[in-house]
Structure 1
Amino acid sequence: MDYLRRSIDSELDELLPVAPALAIDGPKGVGKTCTARRRADVTWSLDDPSQREIARADFALSSLSPGTALLDEWQKLPQIWDSVRRHVDDGAPAGRFLLTGSAAPVDPSGTSGAGRILSLRMRPMGLHERGVVDQTVSFSGLLKGQVAVQGNTEFALPDYAFEIVRSGFPGIMQAPDRLRAGLLSAYLQRVIDRDLPDQGYAVRRPETLRRWLAAYAAASSSTASYSRILDSTTGGDGTQPAKTTTIAYREHLTQLWLLDPVPGWIPANNAIRRLQQAPKHQLADPALAARLLDLSASALLGPVGAHMAGPLFESLVTLGVRVLAQTEQATVSHLRVDSGAHEIDLIVQGIDGQILAIEVKLAGQVDAADVRHLHWLRDQMPDRIADLVVITTGTTAYRRPDGIAVVPLALLGP
């Protein structure tokens, strides 16, 4: 398929002409290598044993030809990171090195590139990157508090259900339904059988890990406690993994960027008391959650999977918002007061401290109850609010009389 431009391409356009070394990190299959190769003059594929041996014999990187060098899957030979760092210290020119990695190194000692190698996160494709919709509402404009909210779309709930299960992995999303489901299952199995052992973690009971992942998927877009997730992992024989085992699962799956929780928002000079810091659970891609739960697009629209349609739509929104926010150097969190009296699905904080608050609603219509927490936040810190938004599955983008923007996800773009 033709290359679909990614949001990270804008970051690379800006940074590669001025930065000697950039690292692109993210889970397998998100397109890191494809995106990086378009900008590289020479590539060392370090997941190839023969290429890795050549690199092992040349840690000084003296045999690299001039231009931009891509060191793909650098974590397979972590010493390469130090070699790049030394070149940067010695005055490497802008755009000299691109590194891509699908996991944090098993032994990160000695691999600090602080101040030398800039890391960029690459996630699966948000809806705005998939080439299926034309956007009319600018995320950047919303974050700056200066955007027109307008446009119409024919994208409807069945289309969103399809995009949830379709995935944002470029090599999977174009496959026919049955093949795509098989590829997602194989992706998860590879994590268990190969990627975790490559990280130095031997999975003694693969089925137990898969049950825990399914329980985690069922908790998508919630702040369910890890003990509650653990309770949901009990097998047919009444057994469940030890708490220490599930802690190891979380650590190693996070190293592989398979888990992508949204942290609780704790603003500087906090004017809001009793904010909860527990993360909202998210997998790297909502399609992985749907596959773990054996949910098709049709199931999400019917009685079997209706209970997960809202959480997984929020997962799809969260994925797209995080991709867009990164381009703007913004962070994404969620807000929940300990008592549960106030919750906001996503808090985007811009580089200047401005706030874009987002609620997610599966339906197309928005009423007063859907925006009451947004009104509350505006009352708490009126000087910091750039905009307030409800993202829906509706057909029209507009502003309510109270100034809150209502934006169908299909219309939200850069």
Structure 2
Amino acid sequence: MDYRRRIVDETLDDLFPHLAAIALEGAKGVGKTATATQRVATVMLLNNPNERTALSSHLDLVTDVPGPVLIDEWQLEPDVWDRVRRAVDDDPTGGRFLLAGSADVAPGVRIHSGAGRIVSLTMRPLAFSERALAEPSVSLRGMLDGTQPAITGISPIDLPTYTDEILRSGFPGIRDLPERARQVQLDSYLTRIVDRELPDSGVSVRRPAALRAWLTAYAAATATDATFATILAAATPGEGDKPARQTADIYRQHLQRIYLLDPIEAWTPAFSPLKRLTHSPKHHLVDPALAARLVGVGKAGLLRGQGNRVHAATGTWLGALFESLAAQSVRVYAEAADARVGHLRTKNTDHEVDLIVETADRSTLAIEVKLTDTIRPADVEHLNWLSEQLGDRLVDRMIIYTGTHAYRRPDGIAVVPLALLGP
């Protein structure tokens, strides 16, 4: 199968010739191995027992074989990290090592941070622009540069198609399967997490059903900042077969360690007049298709507004999944622009902004995500409030929606269909 370039490929084009070692990190199935394989001479697959045994017995293999070298699932043999770090100390020539990992090292395993030797890049499932359904006409990087570029374009994507994309997933190896096979694969992915991935990472799952119940409750809290106590209470309510609070915390930490959970942290602005902001993360799984499978509502039900949510959140379950799809894409585009993504909510909940994209020089873009094809005055209230608070530091404001046209409102807010937003 021909390889389709990803957004991270541009970053690798810029960095890998000059950096000796780069670690591609992300959940299983996002495409790390396929991307890394495009630019190496030797591939070491540590999920292959023979190759893992050979490397563990002779760590110098990483420098003996022809380079560049890909070490896939390196976390299965953590000593490899330190051996690569030492190799970079000995020879910092660019383009020597790519390490792909779908988990941090197991608890209690100590490795050197790799700071100054190994640079980490995150890979997520396919952003919307990577799915080749429409040609983006609006650049996130362009909106961050402070010039307030013209916003134009017409999207061919309607609400049923966005719903299809939520359910198809952004996993390259899953999304193009027939519907039934895709559903079985997504279910298998979740089962494998509970039955194999967590135990392989050193986590004892004594009650898989309880973990599955907690994960389903977490999925139902998608795009909210529900407390973990609320999520725990929603897991098999009224029944005894739910994990204890301490056990649920352990599950959460390890599910995030293997990149299944991908929360958006609260934005904490520096040198800002904003006060009394919440510090709770906004909950997301690595792909909204997984959340949809866990909650168990199909396309017809989503379009009818079905789907129970955890937390007193407004909007529909489809709206939460659309926000998660948009957030997934924005995070890919922001990573390419060397920016970070957070969310904002005041403690009295009178103001909130779905996504805050901030560059290293504190330039800030505020984004609201709306499951609507028509923007109303109430949809822009929080963006205008934030503009009053931040002044020139807020370089642009945007609403991502499901409509057809990309344009700027008279108040300067960009209105952009998700399908037309790109890096």
Aligned equivalent of 1:407? 416
Displacement of 1:351 in angstroms is: 2.2
Structure-1 separation of matches of 2:126 and 2:328: 8
Aligned equivalent of 1:149? 151
SS in 1 for 2:98: strand
- The answer on 1:230 being equivalent to 2:239 is no
- The answer on 1:128 being equivalent to 2:129 is yes
Displacement of 1:111 in angstroms is: 3.3
SS in 2 for 1:118: strand
Displacement of 1:367 in angstroms is: 1.3
Query: Against the structure 1 CA distance between its residues 297 and 2, is the aligned structure 2 distance closer, same or farther, given a 3 Å change threshold?
Result: farther
- The answer on 1:377 being equivalent to 2:378 is no
| Partner amino acid, structure 2, of 1:136 | S
Verify the 8 A CA contact 1:165 1:286 in the aligned structure 2: yes
Aligned equivalent of 1:54? 54
- The answer on 1:346 being equivalent to 2:346 is no
- The answer on 1:138 being equivalent to 2:139 is yes
Identity fraction in percent: 50
Structure-1 separation of matches of 2:70 and 2:76: 14
Verify the 8 A CA contact 2:344 2:356 in the aligned structure 1: yes
Calculate the TM-score normalised by the size of structure 2: 0.96
Structure-2 separation of matches of 1:110 and 1:154: 49
Displacement of 1:66 in angstroms is: 3.0
Aligned equivalent of 1:387? 396
Aligned equivalent of 1:13? 13
More displaced 10-residue stretch of structure 1: 138-147 or 353-362: 138-147
Displacement of 1:63 in angstroms is: 5.9
Verify the 8 A CA contact 2:63 2:87 in the aligned structure 1: no
Structure-2 separation of matches of 1:62 and 1:14: 23
1:335-394 superposed Cα distances (whole Å, 9 cap, x missing partner): 001011110000000122100000010001111110011111111111211110000000
Displacement of 1:191 in angstroms is: 0.3
- The answer on 1:254 being equivalent to 2:263 is no
1:324-343 aligned within 5 A: 324-343=333-352
Verify the 8 A CA contact 2:75 2:105 in the aligned structure 1: yes
SS in 1 for 2:183: helix
Structure-2 separation of matches of 1:120 and 1:230: 32
Structure-1 separation of matches of 2:208 and 2:187: 14
Displacement of 1:139 in angstroms is: 1.1
1:367 to 368, 376, 393: 376
Structure-1 separation of matches of 2:229 and 2:273: 31
Displacement of 1:4 in angstroms is: 2.2
Displacement of 1:68 in angstroms is: 0.6
SS in 2 for 1:407: strand
Structure-1 separation of matches of 2:368 and 2:3: 32
Aligned equivalent of 1:68? 68
| Partner amino acid, structure 2, of 1:329 | D
Structure-2 separation of matches of 1:120 and 1:347: 20
More displaced 10-residue stretch of structure 1: 288-297 or 31-40: 288-297
1:279 to 253, 278, 281: 281
Structure-2 separation of matches of 1:367 and 1:315: 21
Aligned equivalent of 1:316? 325
Let me know the Cα RMSD of the aligned residues.
1.3
Verify the 8 A CA contact 1:23 1:98 in the aligned structure 2: yes
Instruction: Give 5+ residue unaligned stretches, structure 1.
Output: none
| Partner amino acid, structure 2, of 1:21 | A
Displacement of 1:152 in angstroms is: 0.3
Calculate the TM-score normalised by the size of structure 1: 0.98
Structure-2 separation of matches of 1:380 and 1:144: 20
Aligned equivalent of 2:30? 30
SS in 2 for 1:170: coil
1:243-268 superposed Cα distances (whole Å, 9 cap, x missing partner): 00100110110110000110111111
Displacement of 1:95 in angstroms is: 0.5
| Partner amino acid, structure 2, of 1:32 | K
